[in-house]
């Protein structure tokens, strides 16, 4: 039986430093995290809040294999923990991941709110950058929301979806062939509307391709796997569900691109929510197993209208498969009403519009955009970027391998509106926005109200000095002689409806915990 599809996005940002001062990407990322943490009152004297790594198992695979230490608790000291982590009043986490600043959104129920929280992350990182008064005067720092550096490296935009435990176990552990029949084909082909586009090839993909739909596709090396920095998988199988494992599991996807277009981000999350609910309800789609899935994802990225071979010998385009997924989703909508996916009708409408627009799209053999009657470029990143790059390339009479095109590709993702090409196009009215500015601003400061993010965010807002440990599934409060722990094992509990009155009555964490205990026993 299907359950609500709680979603979270983990976005790694590229950080580029110009200057002669020797400032490293790691140091700059830490400075950014702490600059923003100070702004929201999380670095005042006496604060001992740190991120709790004790519940993380980065070396444990869901299929029962252990590849190293059992937890990440011993990895860093408390001082280092505070240096790289900030848990925010909006329920999100801002931290340094290797050489990147990373923003993990709070848990969201709707695709629209997920996009708003993702966009809020851009503003939070920009504000942290502005506040970095420790930066040497001769250094210039820029942030990019993308997935490649055009030097063979890739970094992630990871998606997390709440799944019912039995179905997750069935699809990824007991009978992974089921995932190969439905989920994997959907994820491989959805890039035709989720991809952000890239100039040229790098990594393991088709080197001669002048332009690709997806930035991540050619870096996918296995279907299921534990790693995120090498041997990257379409579905990550790390044993970290951040919820009650008996009831819930986390589907962790690492193949997706970092969207700038709100429409593309909305459709990426929303269509995936619907397909996952269909899978949980046993609403059989069809067997679309690819003959070679890892080759298929690269084929589609190299040419969105290419014919890809299925395991049974049939050939199909990504468009044809996505059209079939959409048809089945519409049938499912009529039968089941899709109660656990907010905005389902809007998602289906956007899905249909995207496929219709792509069917009308005409590309020449050398990737010139010859016809876009529905102006799908206003909504999909890879089409908008292709249009932009072709206009520049033809105006300057440049070949596809000219380095200026890669610079243009990168600048499309600069999140500073003064420098970023996407936001310049947005200001010119060349993109279709879905969100009001007030939605993004609210997500900068406030957590979603209908998931456990509300409880976490309110605690950090009201009692930051009393919090000892925090992570996605637990909070621990310093009560003097003892630490009091509050489990948050159900992502659907801890909402405003449940706890608004409790927070209004609580002057400190002692009163909060007393009221919670009284309500649970009464």
Domain assignment present for 457 = yes
Residues facing 66 on adjacent strands: 60
Instruction: Pinpoint the alpha helices (H) of 131-255.
Output: 165-169, 176-178, 184-189, 191-194
Give pLDDT tens digits for 28-58.
Answer: 999 999 999 999 999 988 889 999 998 787 6
pLDDT at position 73 is: 44
Cβ neighbours around 153 below 10 Å, total: 14
What kind and span of H or E run contains 321?
helix 318-336
Radius of gyration of the chain (CA): 23
Give pLDDT tens digits for 146-178.
Answer: 999 988 889 999 999 999 999 999 999 999 999
Domain extent, residue 234, equals 7-361+413-436
Mean pLDDT computed over every residue of the chain? 93
* Helical axes 453-462 vs 496-505, angle rounded to 10°: 20
DSSP 60: B
Domain assignment present for 513 = yes
Whether the per-residue pLDDT at 522 is higher than 60: the answer is no
> CB-hemisphere CA count at 13 Å for 390?
17
CATH number of 107's domain: 3.30.590
In this structure, the answer to whether residues 354 and 487 fall within a common structural domain is no
C-alpha to C-alpha distance for 207 and 204, rounded to whole angstroms? 8
Q: Where among 436, 468, 491 does a domain terminate?
A: 436
pLDDT at position 182 is: 97
Domain assignment present for 463 = yes
In this structure, the answer to whether residues 317 and 194 fall within a common structural domain is yes
C-alpha to C-alpha distance for 180 and 522, rounded to whole angstroms? 48
Residue bearing the bigger pLDDT, 112 or 240 = 112
In this structure, the answer to whether residues 419 and 510 fall within a common structural domain is no
Residue the block writes with tokens 């009221």: 515
Question: Ramachandran region of residue 293, left (φ > 0), alpha (ψ -120 to 50) or beta?
Answer: alpha
In this structure, the answer to whether residues 92 and 234 fall within a common structural domain is yes
Residue the block writes with tokens 């796997």: 225
In this structure, the answer to whether residues 341 and 453 fall within a common structural domain is no
Give pLDDT tens digits for 433-462.
Answer: 999 999 999 999 999 999 999 999 999 999
C-alpha to C-alpha distance for 187 and 356, rounded to whole angstroms? 19
Q: Supply 237's token pair.
A: 């199988």
Percent over 70 (pLDDT), the chain:
95
Spatial CB neighbours of 15, under 8 Å, sequence gap ≥ 6: 25, 28, 29, 32, 99, 100, 101, 141, 142, 143, 144
Query: CA-CA-CA-CA torsion for 419, 420, 423, 428, nearest 10 degrees?
Result: 60
> CB-hemisphere CA count at 13 Å for 52?
17
| Mean pLDDT of all residues in 89-93 | 99
Strand, helix or coil for residue 58: coil
Strand, helix or coil for residue 36: helix
In this structure, the answer to whether residues 175 and 93 fall within a common structural domain is yes
The total of structural domains in the chain comes to 2
Residue the block writes with tokens 């970290």: 240
Active site residues: 97
In this structure, the answer to whether residues 348 and 426 fall within a common structural domain is yes
| Mean pLDDT of all residues in 267-293 | 95
137-141, 205-209, 211-215: which has the minimum mean pLDDT? 205-209
CA angle 102-104-106, nearest 5°? 160
> CB-hemisphere CA count at 13 Å for 516?
20
pLDDT at position 168 is: 95
Whether the per-residue pLDDT at 431 is higher than 50: the answer is yes
Domain assignment present for 392 = no
C-alpha to C-alpha distance for 179 and 142, rounded to whole angstroms? 39
Domain assignment present for 150 = yes
Domain assignment present for 394 = no
C-alpha to C-alpha distance for 247 and 244, rounded to whole angstroms? 6
In this structure, the answer to whether residues 76 and 143 fall within a common structural domain is yes
Whether the per-residue pLDDT at 67 is higher than 90: the answer is no
Give pLDDT tens digits for 392-427.
Answer: 999 999 999 999 999 999 999 999 999 999 999 999
In this structure, the answer to whether residues 217 and 316 fall within a common structural domain is yes
* CB-based contact 297:217 (threshold 8 Å): yes
Percent over 90 (pLDDT), the chain:
81
pLDDT at position 204 is: 57
pLDDT at position 460 is: 98
In this structure, the answer to whether residues 61 and 205 fall within a common structural domain is yes
Domain assignment present for 510 = yes
Domain assignment present for 389 = no
pTM: 0.95
Whether the per-residue pLDDT at 227 is higher than 90: the answer is no
In this structure, the answer to whether residues 350 and 450 fall within a common structural domain is no
C-alpha to C-alpha distance for 255 and 154, rounded to whole angstroms? 11
Whether the per-residue pLDDT at 207 is higher than 70: the answer is no
In this structure, the answer to whether residues 449 and 425 fall within a common structural domain is no
The string over 19-33, giving b where at least 16 C-beta atoms fall within 10 Å of a residue's C-beta and e elsewhere, is eeeebebbbbbbbbb
């Amino acid at each position: 039986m299907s359950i609500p599809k709680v979603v979270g996005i983990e976005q790694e940002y590229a950080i580029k430093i110009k200057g002669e001062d020797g400032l490293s990407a790691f140091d700059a990322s830490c400075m950014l995290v702490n600059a923003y943490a100070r702004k929201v009152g999380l670095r005042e004297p006496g604060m001992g809040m740190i991120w709790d790594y004790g519940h993380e198992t980065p070396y444990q695979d869901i299929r029962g294999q252990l590849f190293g230490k059992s937890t990440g608790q011993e990895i860093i000291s408390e001082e280092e923990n505070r240096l790289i982590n900030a848990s925010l009043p909006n329920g999100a986490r801002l931290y340094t991941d290797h050489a990147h600043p990373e923003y993990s959104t709070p848990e969201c129920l709707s695709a629209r709110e997920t996009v708003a929280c993702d966009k809020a992350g851009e503003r939070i990182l920009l504000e942290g950058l502005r506040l970095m008064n420790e930066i040497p005067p001769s250094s210039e720092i820029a942030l990019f929301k993308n997935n490649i550096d055009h030097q063979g490296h890739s970094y992630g935009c990871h998606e997390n979806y709440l799944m019912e435990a039995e179905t997750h176990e069935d699809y990824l552990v007991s009978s992974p062939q089921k995932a190969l029949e439905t989920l994997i084909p959907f994820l491989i082909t959805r890039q035709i509307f989720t991809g952000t586009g890239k100039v040229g090839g790098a990594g393991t993909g088709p080197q001669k391709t002048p332009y690709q739909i997806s930035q991540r596709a050619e870096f996918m090396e296995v279907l299921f796997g534990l790693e995120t920095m090498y041997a990257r998988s379409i579905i990550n199988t790390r044993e970290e569900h951040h919820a009650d494992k008996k009831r819930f599991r986390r589907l962790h996807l690492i193949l997706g691109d970092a969207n700038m277009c709100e429409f593309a981000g909305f459709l990426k999350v929303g269509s995936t929510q619907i397909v996952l609910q269909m899978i949980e309800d046993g609403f059989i789609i069809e067997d679309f197993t690819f003959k070679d899935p890892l080759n298929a994802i690269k084929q589609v990225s190299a040419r969105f209208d290419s014919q890809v071979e299925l395991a049974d010998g049939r050939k199909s385009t990504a468009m044809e498969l996505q059209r079939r997924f959409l048809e089945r989703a519409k049938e499912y909508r009529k039968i089941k009403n899709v109660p656990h996916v907010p905005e389902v009708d809007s998602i289906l409408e956007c899905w249909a519009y995207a496929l219709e627009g792509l069917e009308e799209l005409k590309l020449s053999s050398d990737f010139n955009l010859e016809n876009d009657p529905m102006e799908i470029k206003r909504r999909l990143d890879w089409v908008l970027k292709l249009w932009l790059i072709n206009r520049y390339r033809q105006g300057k009479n440049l070949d596809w391998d000219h380095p200026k095109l890669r610079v243009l590709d990168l600048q499309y993702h600069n999140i500073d509106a003064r420098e970023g090409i996407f936001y310049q196009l947005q200001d010119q009215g060349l993109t279709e926005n879905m969100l009001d500015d007030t939605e993004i601003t609210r997500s900068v400061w406030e957590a979603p109200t209908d998931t456990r993010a509300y409880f976490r965010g309110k605690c950090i807002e009201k009692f930051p000095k009393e919090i000892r440990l925090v992570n996605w599934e637990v909070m621990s409060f310093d009560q003097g002689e003892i630490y009091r722990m509050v489990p948050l094992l159900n992502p659907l509990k801890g909402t405003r409806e449940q706890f608004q009155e409790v927070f209004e009555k609580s002057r400190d964490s002692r009163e909060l915990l007393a009221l919670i205990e009284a309500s649970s026993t009464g």
